Amino acid sequence: MNFTSSEESAREVGILVDHVIVNDDVAIKDLKKRRGVGGTIFVQKIAGAKAEHMEKLDEVKRTAEKVITNVRSMGVALTPCVVPALGKPTFTIGEDEIELGIGIHGEPGVQRSKMMTSKEIAEYLTRNIASDLNISTEDQLAVMVQGMGGTSNMEKFIFYKDVRNQIESLGAKVRSSFIGEYTPSMEMVGLQLTILKLDDELGNLLEEPTEAPGWHMWS
């Protein structure tokens, strides 16, 4: 609603504007209802890099849509968060439970499970993403592991190691790695895994330098 209103306001003052819809959340099986989650970061970075080359709007949009076609995400949480405007946790969960398929704004997941190890969670998320994205042995990937606000760096790096092991067991190659906080949900303890299939165009744009303070690329 807000994006549409902003787009209409821009057009009224003569600004050339267009939009894309990110739908990378594999936790939701209905393609028409999928949310944009961690994949929005890759869309913004790559489209921004394309715009820095002074490309026309339709070319920037084409590149953004190419990212959307090739990116998938899924998240997990051990605790809820408290949205300031709401003033209470967005959901309740037991100490021995985890929430699978969370959103990036504190939304609950689509499935609840008993506690799993980092390796088990990595296997579950990677398997769901790889199946939906049709990852093959020839694919080069960008992998993003981001915390949801309350996850320590040590936990993120341990989880990344487990994800990378899963990807390499599929025969695919990790070209770029991103570990940090990109779209956190306040104090939520959890993780979001995002995988992007790369070609030369997307890989080069993704790896172009940026002064954005929250951008962390490890390889």
Rounded distance, CA 56 to CA 208, Å?
19
CB 142 within 8 A of CB 204: no
**What is the chain's mean pLDDT, rounded?**
93
The torsion region of residue 18 among left (phi > 0), alpha (psi -120 to 50) and beta comes to beta
Instruction: Give mean pLDDT, residues 144-157.
Output: 94
Token pair of 94 as six digits? 């037991």
Q: What is the pLDDT of residues 152-162, one digit of tens each?
A: 999 999 999 99
Parallel, antiparallel, or unpaired for β 140-147 and 111-114?
Answer: unpaired
Q: Look up residue 35 and give its amino acid.
A: R
Rounded to a whole number of angstroms, the CA Rg of the chain reads 18
List of domains in the chain: 2-207 (3.30.1180.20)
Q: What is the pLDDT of residues 190-210, one digit of tens each?
A: 999 999 999 999 999 999 999
For residue 219, the model assigns a pLDDT of: 67
For 52, 91, 106, 186, the CA distances from 84, given in Å and listed in that order, are: 35, 14, 11, 9
Complete DSSP assignment for 195-218 = EEEE-HHHHHHHHS----TT----
The pTM for the full model equals 0.93
Give the H or E element holding residue 100: strand 97-100
Q: What is the DSSP letter of 33?
A: G
Q: Catalytic positions, please?
A: 105
Tally: H helices and E strands in the chain: 6, 6
Q: How far is CA 186 from the centre of its chain?
A: 16
Strand partners, 75: 192
Higher pLDDT, 83 or 39: 39
Whether residue 86 is predicted with pLDDT greater than 90 in this model: the reply is: no
CB 106 within 8 A of CB 90: yes
Q: How far is CA 165 from the centre of its chain?
A: 19
Q: In what order do the strands lie in the sheet with 140-147?
A: 111-114, 97-100, 71-77, 190-198, 140-147, 173-180
